[in-house]
A and B are shown apart, each in its own frame.
Chain A
Protein backbone atom coordinates (compact mmCIF):
# COMPACT_ATOMS: atom_id res chain seq x y z
CA UNK A 1 0.00 0.00 0.00
CA UNK A 2 1.11 3.54 -0.73
CA UNK A 3 -0.18 6.42 1.36
CA UNK A 4 0.30 10.10 2.02
CA UNK A 5 0.60 10.89 5.71
CA UNK A 6 -0.05 14.38 6.99
CA UNK A 7 1.46 14.39 10.46
CA UNK A 8 1.55 17.02 13.19
CA UNK A 9 5.19 17.77 13.99
CA UNK A 10 6.07 19.83 17.04
CA UNK A 11 9.50 19.88 18.70
CA UNK A 12 8.47 20.93 22.20
CA UNK A 13 5.51 22.33 24.15
CA UNK A 14 6.84 25.85 23.64
CA UNK A 15 7.47 25.75 19.91
CA UNK A 16 4.63 26.03 17.41
CA UNK A 17 3.92 22.88 15.41
CA UNK A 18 2.75 22.29 11.87
CA UNK A 19 1.44 19.57 9.58
CA UNK A 20 4.16 17.87 7.49
CA UNK A 21 3.41 15.61 4.52
CA UNK A 22 5.18 12.27 4.14
CA UNK A 23 4.79 9.94 1.16
CA UNK A 24 4.73 6.37 2.49
CA UNK A 25 5.33 3.23 0.40
CA UNK A 26 5.38 -0.53 0.92
CA UNK A 27 2.82 -0.80 3.72
CA UNK A 28 1.40 -4.28 4.33
CA UNK A 29 -2.39 -4.20 4.94
CA UNK A 30 -2.04 -6.49 7.97
CA UNK A 31 0.14 -3.98 9.81
CA UNK A 32 -1.43 -2.05 12.66
CA UNK A 33 -1.51 1.73 12.41
CA UNK A 34 1.34 2.01 14.90
CA UNK A 35 3.44 -0.55 13.00
CA UNK A 36 2.91 1.58 9.92
CA UNK A 37 4.25 4.57 11.89
CA UNK A 38 7.23 2.42 12.96
CA UNK A 39 8.00 1.78 9.28
CA UNK A 40 7.75 5.49 8.53
CA UNK A 41 10.07 6.25 11.44
CA UNK A 42 12.68 3.72 10.28
CA UNK A 43 12.70 5.50 6.93
CA UNK A 44 13.09 8.87 8.65
CA UNK A 45 15.95 7.60 10.84
CA UNK A 46 17.70 6.15 7.77
CA UNK A 47 17.50 9.60 6.17
CA UNK A 48 18.90 11.18 9.30
CA UNK A 49 15.63 12.91 10.17
CA UNK A 50 13.91 13.08 13.52
CA UNK A 51 11.37 10.20 13.90
CA UNK A 52 7.70 10.98 14.69
CA UNK A 53 7.17 10.76 18.44
CA UNK A 54 4.01 8.88 19.47
CA UNK A 55 2.86 7.05 22.58
CA UNK A 56 2.33 3.31 22.77
CA UNK A 57 2.83 0.50 25.25
CA UNK A 58 0.82 -2.73 25.20
CA UNK A 59 -0.22 -2.54 21.55
CA UNK A 60 -3.07 -4.89 22.33
CA UNK A 61 -5.75 -2.38 23.24
CA UNK A 62 -5.65 -2.64 27.03
CA UNK A 63 -3.34 0.07 28.39
CA UNK A 64 -4.75 3.25 26.84
CA UNK A 65 -1.36 4.70 26.00
CA UNK A 66 -1.77 5.06 22.25
CA UNK A 67 -3.52 8.33 21.56
CA UNK A 68 -3.79 9.68 18.06
CA UNK A 69 -6.49 11.30 16.01
CA UNK A 70 -6.60 9.69 12.57
CA UNK A 71 -8.51 11.52 9.84
CA UNK A 72 -10.38 13.56 12.41
CA UNK A 73 -11.42 10.64 14.58
CA UNK A 74 -9.88 9.62 17.88
CA UNK A 75 -8.26 6.17 17.43
CA UNK A 76 -9.33 6.25 13.77
CA UNK A 77 -13.06 5.69 14.17
CA UNK A 78 -13.13 1.89 14.05
CA UNK A 79 -15.84 0.88 16.56
CA UNK A 80 -14.44 -0.24 19.91
CA UNK A 81 -10.84 -0.19 18.68
CA UNK A 82 -7.69 1.57 19.89
CA UNK A 83 -5.20 2.98 17.37
CA UNK A 84 -2.79 0.12 18.13
CA UNK A 85 -5.48 -2.40 17.15
CA UNK A 86 -6.51 -0.56 14.01
CA UNK A 87 -5.19 -2.27 10.90
CA UNK A 88 -4.12 -0.75 7.62
CA UNK A 89 -6.58 -2.92 5.69
CA UNK A 90 -9.27 -0.44 6.76
CA UNK A 91 -7.59 2.21 4.58
CA UNK A 92 -7.41 2.45 0.81
CA UNK A 93 -4.31 2.36 -1.28
CA UNK A 94 -3.30 5.90 -2.18
CA UNK A 95 -5.30 7.47 0.66
CA UNK A 96 -4.23 10.65 2.43
CA UNK A 97 -4.32 10.24 6.19
CA UNK A 98 -4.11 13.12 8.68
CA UNK A 99 -2.52 12.19 12.02
CA UNK A 100 -2.81 14.56 14.97
CA UNK A 101 -2.37 14.47 18.75
CA UNK A 102 -5.29 14.76 21.21
CA UNK A 103 -6.28 18.43 21.26
CA UNK A 104 -7.23 19.84 24.64
CA UNK A 105 -5.95 22.60 26.89
CA UNK A 106 -5.70 20.00 29.65
CA UNK A 107 -3.55 17.72 27.45
CA UNK A 108 -0.63 19.89 26.30
CA UNK A 109 1.42 18.50 23.41
CA UNK A 110 4.87 17.46 24.59
CA UNK A 111 6.22 16.48 21.19
CA UNK A 112 4.62 15.55 17.84
CA UNK A 113 1.77 13.17 18.74
CA UNK A 114 2.65 12.82 22.42
CA UNK A 115 0.49 14.68 24.93
CA UNK A 116 0.78 15.05 28.69
CA UNK A 117 -2.25 13.29 30.15
CA UNK A 118 -1.20 13.92 33.75
CA UNK A 119 -4.54 15.69 34.23
CA UNK A 120 -6.23 12.25 34.33
CA UNK A 121 -3.75 11.07 36.97
CA UNK A 122 -4.52 14.10 39.12
CA UNK A 123 -8.27 13.45 38.81
CA UNK A 124 -7.69 9.88 40.01
CA UNK A 125 -5.49 11.15 42.85
CA UNK A 126 -8.32 13.47 43.91
CA UNK A 127 -10.67 10.58 44.69
CA UNK A 128 -10.54 7.68 42.27
CA UNK A 129 -9.60 5.14 44.89
CA UNK A 130 -10.81 3.26 47.96
CA UNK A 131 -9.21 4.54 51.20
CA UNK A 132 -9.24 1.30 53.18
CA UNK A 133 -7.15 -1.74 52.43
CA UNK A 134 -9.60 -4.24 50.99
CA UNK A 135 -7.06 -7.08 50.91
CA UNK A 136 -6.54 -9.46 48.05
CA UNK A 137 -9.13 -10.82 45.65
CA UNK A 138 -12.14 -11.77 47.79
CA UNK A 139 -13.39 -15.37 47.75
CA UNK A 140 -16.19 -15.99 45.32
CA UNK A 141 -19.60 -15.04 46.73
CA UNK A 142 -18.22 -13.90 50.11
CA UNK A 143 -19.48 -10.42 49.25
CA UNK A 144 -22.94 -10.78 47.76
CA UNK A 145 -23.17 -8.44 44.75
CA UNK A 146 -25.99 -8.67 42.24
CA UNK A 147 -25.12 -9.85 38.76
CA UNK A 148 -26.57 -6.67 37.20
CA UNK A 149 -24.47 -4.40 39.47
CA UNK A 150 -21.26 -6.34 38.99
CA UNK A 151 -21.73 -6.35 35.22
CA UNK A 152 -22.39 -2.62 35.22
CA UNK A 153 -19.36 -1.95 37.44
CA UNK A 154 -17.26 -4.04 35.08
CA UNK A 155 -18.54 -2.10 32.06
CA UNK A 156 -17.39 1.11 33.73
CA UNK A 157 -14.10 -0.43 34.88
CA UNK A 158 -13.29 -1.28 31.26
CA UNK A 159 -12.17 2.37 30.81
CA UNK A 160 -8.47 2.38 29.95
CA UNK A 161 -8.09 6.13 30.49
CA UNK A 162 -6.79 6.81 26.97
CA UNK A 163 -8.47 10.22 26.70
CA UNK A 164 -10.23 9.58 23.37
CA UNK A 165 -13.44 10.95 24.95
CA UNK A 166 -11.72 14.28 25.54
CA UNK A 167 -10.16 14.24 22.07
CA UNK A 168 -13.46 13.57 20.31
CA UNK A 169 -15.68 15.92 22.32
CA UNK A 170 -16.25 19.29 20.70
CA UNK A 171 -15.82 20.77 24.19
CA UNK A 172 -12.82 18.63 25.20
CA UNK A 173 -14.85 17.37 28.15
CA UNK A 174 -13.54 14.58 30.36
CA UNK A 175 -16.95 13.59 31.69
CA UNK A 176 -16.99 10.11 30.18
CA UNK A 177 -13.65 9.22 31.77
CA UNK A 178 -14.56 10.68 35.16
CA UNK A 179 -18.02 9.09 35.11
CA UNK A 180 -16.55 5.66 34.36
CA UNK A 181 -14.10 5.96 37.26
CA UNK A 182 -16.78 7.29 39.63
CA UNK A 183 -19.24 4.57 38.63
CA UNK A 184 -17.06 1.49 38.80
CA UNK A 185 -16.17 2.33 42.39
CA UNK A 186 -19.56 3.52 43.61
CA UNK A 187 -21.35 0.48 42.20
CA UNK A 188 -19.41 -1.91 44.44
CA UNK A 189 -19.66 -2.08 48.25
CA UNK A 190 -15.95 -1.35 48.79
CA UNK A 191 -16.24 1.96 46.97
CA UNK A 192 -19.81 2.91 47.81
CA UNK A 193 -18.93 4.23 51.30
CA UNK A 194 -16.97 7.17 49.93
CA UNK A 195 -19.08 7.92 46.88
CA UNK A 196 -20.33 11.38 47.93
CA UNK A 197 -16.84 12.63 48.68
CA UNK A 198 -15.33 10.97 45.63
CA UNK A 199 -17.60 12.48 43.02
CA UNK A 200 -17.23 15.97 44.50
CA UNK A 201 -13.43 15.78 44.65
CA UNK A 202 -13.01 14.28 41.20
CA UNK A 203 -15.34 16.74 39.46
CA UNK A 204 -13.64 19.65 41.26
CA UNK A 205 -10.25 18.45 40.04
CA UNK A 206 -11.64 17.90 36.53
CA UNK A 207 -12.82 21.52 36.44
CA UNK A 208 -9.44 22.76 37.72
CA UNK A 209 -7.65 20.98 34.89
CA UNK A 210 -9.53 23.04 32.31
CA UNK A 211 -11.63 20.42 30.57
CA UNK A 212 -14.86 21.57 28.91
CA UNK A 213 -18.44 20.70 29.88
CA UNK A 214 -20.64 17.88 28.69
CA UNK A 215 -23.21 19.00 26.13
CA UNK A 216 -24.50 15.46 25.57
CA UNK A 217 -23.44 15.18 21.93
CA UNK A 218 -22.46 11.54 22.37
CA UNK A 219 -19.16 11.84 20.46
CA UNK A 220 -17.21 10.40 23.41
CA UNK A 221 -19.34 7.26 23.62
CA UNK A 222 -19.03 6.78 19.83
CA UNK A 223 -15.22 6.82 19.78
CA UNK A 224 -14.55 5.13 23.13
CA UNK A 225 -12.49 2.00 22.40
CA UNK A 226 -14.13 0.33 25.39
CA UNK A 227 -17.62 1.55 24.41
CA UNK A 228 -18.32 3.17 27.78
CA UNK A 229 -21.94 4.34 27.82
CA UNK A 230 -23.25 7.89 28.21
CA UNK A 231 -25.48 6.45 30.94
CA UNK A 232 -22.47 6.60 33.28
CA UNK A 233 -22.40 10.39 32.84
CA UNK A 234 -26.04 10.47 33.96
CA UNK A 235 -24.98 8.39 36.99
CA UNK A 236 -22.18 10.85 37.75
CA UNK A 237 -24.61 13.77 37.49
CA UNK A 238 -26.99 12.00 39.86
CA UNK A 239 -24.27 11.23 42.40
CA UNK A 240 -22.95 14.78 42.12
CA UNK A 241 -26.43 16.18 42.76
CA UNK A 242 -26.80 14.07 45.90
CA UNK A 243 -23.34 15.09 47.07
CA UNK A 244 -24.14 18.76 46.45
CA UNK A 245 -27.43 18.50 48.40
CA UNK A 246 -25.59 16.90 51.29
CA UNK A 247 -23.20 19.86 51.30
CA UNK A 248 -20.07 17.78 50.72
CA UNK A 249 -16.97 19.92 50.17
CA UNK A 250 -14.24 18.98 47.69
Chain B
Protein backbone atom coordinates (compact mmCIF):
# COMPACT_ATOMS: atom_id res chain seq x y z
CA UNK B 1 0.00 0.00 0.00
CA UNK B 2 1.23 3.45 -0.81
CA UNK B 3 1.04 5.71 2.25
CA UNK B 4 1.77 8.65 0.00
CA UNK B 5 -1.34 7.99 -2.10
CA UNK B 6 -3.44 7.46 1.02
CA UNK B 7 -2.49 10.86 2.42
CA UNK B 8 -2.55 12.81 -0.82
CA UNK B 9 -5.47 11.53 -2.88
CA UNK B 10 -9.01 12.78 -2.38
CA UNK B 11 -10.45 9.33 -1.70
CA UNK B 12 -7.48 8.44 0.54
CA UNK B 13 -8.08 11.46 2.74
CA UNK B 14 -11.76 10.51 2.94
CA UNK B 15 -10.65 7.04 4.12
CA UNK B 16 -8.63 8.69 6.90
CA UNK B 17 -11.55 10.94 7.80
CA UNK B 18 -14.00 8.03 7.87
CA UNK B 19 -11.75 5.53 9.67
CA UNK B 20 -10.83 8.02 12.41
CA UNK B 21 -14.49 9.02 12.59
CA UNK B 22 -15.46 5.38 13.04
CA UNK B 23 -12.91 4.98 15.84
CA UNK B 24 -14.12 8.09 17.65
CA UNK B 25 -17.71 6.98 17.19
CA UNK B 26 -16.88 3.68 18.93
CA UNK B 27 -15.15 5.64 21.68
CA UNK B 28 -18.26 7.80 22.13
CA UNK B 29 -20.38 4.65 22.49
CA UNK B 30 -18.01 3.10 25.07
CA UNK B 31 -17.66 6.38 26.94
CA UNK B 32 -21.43 6.59 27.28
CA UNK B 33 -21.65 3.02 28.57
CA UNK B 34 -19.05 3.97 31.18
CA UNK B 35 -20.86 7.17 32.15
CA UNK B 36 -24.27 5.56 32.47
CA UNK B 37 -22.94 3.59 35.44
CA UNK B 38 -23.57 6.77 37.41
CA UNK B 39 -27.18 5.59 37.63
CA UNK B 40 -25.99 2.42 39.39
CA UNK B 41 -24.77 4.53 42.28
CA UNK B 42 -21.50 5.93 43.67
CA UNK B 43 -19.92 2.59 44.46
CA UNK B 44 -20.18 1.25 40.89
CA UNK B 45 -18.97 4.31 39.02
CA UNK B 46 -16.20 5.03 41.53
CA UNK B 47 -14.93 1.48 41.18
CA UNK B 48 -15.04 1.87 37.39
CA UNK B 49 -13.10 5.15 37.68
CA UNK B 50 -10.51 3.52 39.92
CA UNK B 51 -10.24 0.60 37.49
CA UNK B 52 -9.48 2.92 34.55
CA UNK B 53 -7.08 5.11 36.53
CA UNK B 54 -5.35 2.07 37.98
CA UNK B 55 -4.53 0.55 34.61
CA UNK B 56 -1.82 2.81 33.30
CA UNK B 57 -0.88 0.23 30.64
CA UNK B 58 -4.44 0.51 29.35
CA UNK B 59 -5.22 4.16 29.75
CA UNK B 60 -2.08 5.70 28.27
CA UNK B 61 -2.07 3.79 24.97
CA UNK B 62 -5.78 4.63 24.71
CA UNK B 63 -5.10 8.32 25.33
CA UNK B 64 -2.22 8.50 22.87
CA UNK B 65 -4.23 6.55 20.29
CA UNK B 66 -7.18 8.91 20.68
CA UNK B 67 -4.93 11.93 20.36
CA UNK B 68 -3.50 10.60 17.08
CA UNK B 69 -6.99 9.77 15.81
CA UNK B 70 -8.37 13.22 16.68
CA UNK B 71 -5.29 14.80 15.07
CA UNK B 72 -5.75 12.85 11.83
CA UNK B 73 -9.48 13.63 11.76
CA UNK B 74 -8.79 17.35 12.08
CA UNK B 75 -5.90 17.25 9.63
CA UNK B 76 -8.02 15.58 6.95
CA UNK B 77 -10.94 17.95 7.64
CA UNK B 78 -8.71 20.99 7.19
CA UNK B 79 -7.10 19.66 4.00
CA UNK B 80 -10.39 18.53 2.45
CA UNK B 81 -12.18 21.78 3.32
CA UNK B 82 -9.38 23.86 1.80
CA UNK B 83 -9.54 21.80 -1.40
CA UNK B 84 -13.32 22.04 -1.52
CA UNK B 85 -13.23 25.81 -1.19
CA UNK B 86 -10.61 26.07 -3.92
CA UNK B 87 -12.69 23.89 -6.26
CA UNK B 88 -15.26 26.67 -6.73
CA UNK B 89 -13.49 30.03 -6.88
CA UNK B 90 -16.47 31.81 -8.46
CA UNK B 91 -19.65 31.29 -6.44
CA UNK B 92 -23.13 31.16 -7.92
CA UNK B 93 -25.26 34.29 -7.89
CA UNK B 94 -28.16 32.03 -6.96
CA UNK B 95 -27.59 28.54 -5.59
CA UNK B 96 -29.92 26.04 -4.05
CA UNK B 97 -28.21 23.15 -2.34
CA UNK B 98 -30.57 20.37 -3.31
CA UNK B 99 -30.80 17.40 -0.92
CA UNK B 100 -27.78 18.50 1.17
CA UNK B 101 -28.90 18.33 4.82
CA UNK B 102 -28.10 21.09 7.31
CA UNK B 103 -25.84 18.69 9.18
CA UNK B 104 -23.89 17.79 6.04
CA UNK B 105 -23.26 21.44 5.22
CA UNK B 106 -22.09 22.40 8.71
CA UNK B 107 -19.70 19.58 9.66
CA UNK B 108 -16.78 21.99 10.09
CA UNK B 109 -18.79 24.31 12.37
CA UNK B 110 -20.20 21.49 14.53
CA UNK B 111 -16.78 19.83 14.61
CA UNK B 112 -14.97 22.95 15.78
CA UNK B 113 -17.44 23.58 18.61
CA UNK B 114 -17.19 19.93 19.67
CA UNK B 115 -13.40 20.34 19.69
CA UNK B 116 -13.68 23.38 21.96
CA UNK B 117 -15.96 21.36 24.21
CA UNK B 118 -13.50 18.43 24.34
CA UNK B 119 -10.75 20.79 25.51
CA UNK B 120 -13.03 22.13 28.25
CA UNK B 121 -14.26 18.65 29.15
CA UNK B 122 -10.69 17.38 29.61
CA UNK B 123 -9.77 20.36 31.79
CA UNK B 124 -13.00 19.85 33.73
CA UNK B 125 -12.99 16.14 34.53
CA UNK B 126 -9.64 14.70 33.40
CA UNK B 127 -7.18 17.37 34.57
CA UNK B 128 -9.73 18.64 37.13
CA UNK B 129 -8.72 22.27 36.94
CA UNK B 130 -10.60 24.00 39.79
CA UNK B 131 -10.61 27.41 38.09
CA UNK B 132 -12.92 26.28 35.25
CA UNK B 133 -15.35 23.97 37.05
CA UNK B 134 -17.53 26.80 38.34
CA UNK B 135 -17.98 25.31 41.82
CA UNK B 136 -14.84 26.50 43.60
CA UNK B 137 -14.33 22.90 44.83
CA UNK B 138 -11.11 21.03 44.09
CA UNK B 139 -12.26 17.84 42.34
CA UNK B 140 -8.92 16.10 42.96
CA UNK B 141 -9.58 15.97 46.70
CA UNK B 142 -12.96 14.20 46.48
CA UNK B 143 -12.82 10.77 48.10
CA UNK B 144 -15.47 8.20 48.84
CA UNK B 145 -15.72 5.90 51.88
CA UNK B 146 -13.49 3.33 50.13
CA UNK B 147 -10.75 5.99 49.74
CA UNK B 148 -11.27 5.95 45.98
CA UNK B 149 -11.58 9.08 43.89
CA UNK B 150 -15.25 10.10 44.16
CA UNK B 151 -16.27 10.25 40.49
CA UNK B 152 -19.95 10.26 41.46
CA UNK B 153 -19.56 13.38 43.61
CA UNK B 154 -17.50 15.02 40.87
CA UNK B 155 -20.23 14.42 38.28
CA UNK B 156 -23.00 15.65 40.57
CA UNK B 157 -21.06 18.76 41.60
CA UNK B 158 -19.96 19.43 38.03
CA UNK B 159 -23.38 19.20 36.42
CA UNK B 160 -25.23 20.99 39.22
CA UNK B 161 -23.83 24.16 37.68
CA UNK B 162 -26.43 25.12 35.05
CA UNK B 163 -23.90 26.93 32.84
CA UNK B 164 -21.59 23.91 32.76
CA UNK B 165 -24.57 21.60 32.13
CA UNK B 166 -25.83 24.01 29.46
CA UNK B 167 -22.55 23.96 27.56
CA UNK B 168 -22.57 20.17 27.83
CA UNK B 169 -26.09 19.98 26.39
CA UNK B 170 -25.10 22.34 23.56
CA UNK B 171 -22.01 20.27 22.76
CA UNK B 172 -24.01 17.04 22.79
CA UNK B 173 -26.57 18.62 20.45
CA UNK B 174 -23.79 19.51 18.03
CA UNK B 175 -22.30 16.04 18.41
CA UNK B 176 -25.73 14.66 17.55
CA UNK B 177 -25.83 16.92 14.47
CA UNK B 178 -22.29 15.90 13.49
CA UNK B 179 -23.07 12.20 13.85
CA UNK B 180 -26.44 12.43 12.13
CA UNK B 181 -24.46 13.05 8.94
CA UNK B 182 -21.18 11.44 9.92
CA UNK B 183 -22.31 7.93 10.81
CA UNK B 184 -23.92 7.13 7.47
CA UNK B 185 -21.28 9.13 5.56
CA UNK B 186 -18.42 7.11 7.05
CA UNK B 187 -19.93 3.89 5.70
CA UNK B 188 -20.23 5.58 2.31
CA UNK B 189 -16.64 6.85 2.35
CA UNK B 190 -15.30 3.43 3.28
CA UNK B 191 -17.35 1.89 0.47
CA UNK B 192 -19.43 -0.19 2.88
CA UNK B 193 -22.71 0.55 1.20
CA UNK B 194 -24.82 -0.78 -1.61
CA UNK B 195 -28.44 -0.99 -2.63
CA UNK B 196 -29.25 -3.57 0.05
CA UNK B 197 -27.25 -2.07 2.90
CA UNK B 198 -28.03 1.62 2.31
CA UNK B 199 -31.48 1.64 3.96
CA UNK B 200 -30.23 -0.57 6.82
CA UNK B 201 -27.26 1.72 7.47
CA UNK B 202 -29.46 4.82 7.29
CA UNK B 203 -31.83 3.40 9.92
CA UNK B 204 -28.97 2.20 12.11
CA UNK B 205 -27.39 5.68 11.93
CA UNK B 206 -30.59 7.43 12.99
CA UNK B 207 -31.26 4.96 15.82
CA UNK B 208 -27.75 4.99 17.26
CA UNK B 209 -27.35 8.79 17.13
CA UNK B 210 -30.65 9.23 18.98
CA UNK B 211 -29.62 6.63 21.58
CA UNK B 212 -26.33 8.42 22.12
CA UNK B 213 -28.02 11.81 22.37
CA UNK B 214 -30.63 10.68 24.88
CA UNK B 215 -28.03 8.72 26.83
CA UNK B 216 -25.58 11.61 27.11
CA UNK B 217 -28.27 14.17 27.97
CA UNK B 218 -29.84 11.98 30.63
CA UNK B 219 -26.91 12.44 33.01
CA UNK B 220 -26.71 16.26 33.34
CA UNK B 221 -30.51 16.54 33.17
CA UNK B 222 -31.01 13.97 35.91
CA UNK B 223 -28.47 15.77 38.09
CA UNK B 224 -30.09 19.17 37.44
CA UNK B 225 -33.40 17.61 38.46
CA UNK B 226 -31.91 16.52 41.77
CA UNK B 227 -30.36 13.10 41.13
CA UNK B 228 -27.56 12.54 43.64
CA UNK B 229 -28.30 15.71 45.63
CA UNK B 230 -28.72 13.71 48.84
CA UNK B 231 -25.36 11.96 48.38
CA UNK B 232 -23.13 12.59 51.36
CA UNK B 233 -19.96 12.78 49.28
CA UNK B 234 -20.85 16.15 47.80
CA UNK B 235 -21.22 18.04 51.06
CA UNK B 236 -17.77 17.39 52.49
Residues of A within 8 A of B (CB): 6, 8, 19, 69, 71-73, 77, 98, 100, 103-106, 109, 168, 170-173, 200, 203-204, 206-207, 210-219, 221-223, 229-231, 233-241, 244-247, 249-250
Contact = CB atoms under 8 A, between A and B. Distances in A.
Interface string B1-44: 11001101111111100000000000000000000000000000
19 contacts: A69-B94, A72-B94, A73-B96, A105-B89, A173-B10, A203-B9, A212-B84, A214-B10, A215-B84, A215-B107, A216-B181, A216-B189, A219-B98, A236-B191, A237-B14, A237-B189, A239-B191, A240-B11, A241-B190
Contact of A213 (B5, B80, B95): B80
A170 B193 CA distance: 22
B91 interface: yes
Given A203-B10, A207-B9, A234 B97 contact: no
Contacts of B2: 244, 247, 249
Interface SS majority for chain A: mixed
Given A8-B93, A245-B1, 17 more contacts: A71-B94, A77-B96, A103-B90, A105-B87, A105-B88, A173-B10, A200-B5, A204-B9, A212-B88, A213-B13, A213-B80, A213-B84, A216-B185, A234-B187, A234-B192, A241-B191, A250-B5
A237 B14 CA distance: 9
Nearest to A250: B5
Interface residues of B, number: 47
Given A69-B92, A71-B96, A218-B100, A244 B194 contact: no
B96 A72 contact: yes
Contact of B87 (A172, A230, A245, A247): A172
A239 B94 CA distance: 36
